[in-house]
Structure 1
């Protein structure tokens, strides 16, 4: 689906209705709008917390009425061992929401049942979004 920033909150609500998992990995080039989309997703999930990029903290935690969202930015992580050192598996295999930007370094430890978002910035500043199952990347689900 293609969207503009003006419609991002409606897009986030639509994405939530299509999810199969509480683990979402988000791919896109620098400036594609990953964090901006995640801000809208966190709000659509029901959190009133202020969302910011966890580039330096690695993970931010947002609260919901009966749940928690962990938002990761793994851009600065050098290898899987570093991810193990801060307990990535504990987060991934928790019962909570996990949203990961720049997930390439941890792909090998992710479960099969996750959702993948690919974002591409278009020449007109809109975004092209594809939501897929990890186990069948070619199968668009929404």
Structure 2
């Protein structure tokens, strides 16, 4: 699936739709350059999960946990991870194989740790169309994510 948006609000709304229909154990891997909107789509997913806390990028913590929604949200930022063992030391497997929803920003940095079934969300800037234009491409791997076909914006 591919979406082209010209506002942060549309990116957040796409995330909200995903969050409103996602299931326990879902894994979302986000990739894209700095400033493309990875945290904005995460905020939308959190909103769709009815998370009440303020969502921030866990750049220095590796993972932030949010427990106030219909499912627990685990928000990873692995931009500063230099060794995959760092991820294992925080209990990565317990998070992603648990009953919460895991969102991994900069997932391309730890590709070898990502399970076979996940959703890849790639966000790209489209400067030739305007400063706020983004192309969001969603690919899912595994039958459990067939529900994403319902997305429409």
Residue 15 (structure 1) aligns with? 18
Matched ranges for 1:11-90 at <5 A: 11-16=14-19, 22-90=26-94
Match status 1:5 vs 2:8: yes
SS across alignment from 2:47: helix
Structure 1 runs not aligned, ≥5 long? none
Residue 111 (structure 1) aligns with? 115
Q: Once structures 1 and 2 are overlaid, which stretch shifts more, 48-57 or 10-19?
A: 10-19
Does the CA-based 8 Å contact 1:69-1:98 persist in structure 2?
yes
Does the CA-based 8 Å contact 2:39-2:56 persist in structure 1?
yes
When residues 13 and 40 of structure 1 are mapped into structure 2, their CA distance, relative to the original with a 3 A threshold, is closer
TM-score (structure 2 length as normaliser): 0.79
Q: CA RMSD in A?
A: 2.2
SS across alignment from 1:54: coil
Structure 2 runs not aligned, ≥5 long? 143-147
When residues 65 and 37 of structure 1 are mapped into structure 2, their CA distance, relative to the original with a 3 A threshold, is closer
State the 1:107 CA deviation: 1.9
More strand by share: 1
